[in-house]
Amino acid sequence: MSVNELLDANRKFLDSGRINQLKFKPFSGWVVISCMSEKLADLLEESLGFERGEALFIRTAGAAFTKYDNSIERSVAIAIFKKDAVKIAVVGHSDCSSASDVFSITEAMKKHNIPRSAVPDDVREWMGLISNPEENVRQLVRTLRNSSVVPVSVEIHGFMLDTKTGKLTHIVSAMQEKELKKEDIHIAELEIKSPVAFKADRFEHSSDTTTANFSDTPPAIDISADRPKTAKYTQPKPAQYNPPPVPKPQPRYQPQDPVPLEPKPVQQAKPKISVEASDDPFQEMLDKLKRDRFKKS
């Protein structure tokens, strides 16, 4: 369909006067989050039983919440604070095209001359590609329940819609009583116990495959019995600290008893050699030599 064909269709719509025949029902408080697939056009509203104006619809690729895009959380917050929404329905569907592999996406980018560097490294996370539509519904329900902008009084439910039969299956719910504080909510990791049933702190997986009736209030899940009781915290007493004994300071110089000095040995005087005078000249010469030797010694 070209642009001119779109404009021609609009002129026919204006000439028919159908704009004056459109009626809106009062808002029921429901917000429906679903995929943008063309398979859900008209099918989603009719299968849920909503008429025009009764619900707000948020549609994204795969109804996936990623770290690169918070449009779902932002739209839900506006619906709650501007439209007084009180219930959220996350609806996944069969044959979702978002449940595809990364290779097909990157190959399509090449055909359109889009470089790989144009998107972050994690293409699956950025594109919001999902491997399991039913598990994606549970993940989005848990993410919204943990969101800081979604009050705990808002009910959050997850469903799967079969696009071939139109059957709606309730798979998960996350609700909290109003008197519970946000910081008291304990979010446990989803533990799948069997293919058809699992149970967590605030999640209940039902094997019931009956079609959901939105005219009635969904059954609330009592989590008070399953929630583990937290023991009262008592602060442990600090251990008594016994400091080690401090040694007494020792003086740098300690006077000692004086050591008695030993007396120096007394040197004995060398004996003098007495030479008697002699009238013999030879003897006199010998005596002189002895005296000289004695002096030198």
- Residue 71 has a CB neighbour count (10 Å cut-off) of 11
User: Computed from CA positions of residues 7, 10, 11, 12, in that sequence, does the dihedral angle turn out positive or negative?
Assistant: positive
Average confidence (pLDDT) over 25-47:
85
Q: Assign 183 a pLDDT band (cuts: 50, 70, 90).
A: very low
Token digits of residue 274: 């007495």
Write down the domain spans for the chain: 24-184
pLDDT at site 109: 74
Q: pLDDT at residue 224 above 60? A: no
**Which of 38, 131, 55 lies closest to 90 in space, CA to CA?**
55
Going by pLDDT thresholds of 50, 70 and 90, the confidence category of residue 296 is: low
Bridge partners (DSSP) listed for residue 63: none
For the segment 189-219, what is each residue's pLDDT rounded down to a tens digit? 333 333 333 333 444 444 444 444 444 444 4
The number of C-alpha atoms within 13 Å of 233 and in the hemisphere containing its C-beta is 2
- Whether 123 has a pLDDT exceeding 50, the answer reads yes
Average pLDDT taken over every residue of the chain: 71
Residue located via tokens 């619906």? 79
Res 139: pLDDT: 86
pLDDT (mean) for 11-15: 88
Return the minimum-mean-pLDDT range out of 8-22, 109-123, 227-241: 227-241
Which fold is adopted by the domain 24-184? Beta-carbonic Anhydrase; Chain A (3.40.1050)
Residue 141: closest CA among 221, 211, 83, 82: 221
90 has pLDDT over 80: yes
User: Per residue in 143-180, pLDDT tens?
Assistant: 899 888 999 999 999 998 888 888 989 988 886 433 33
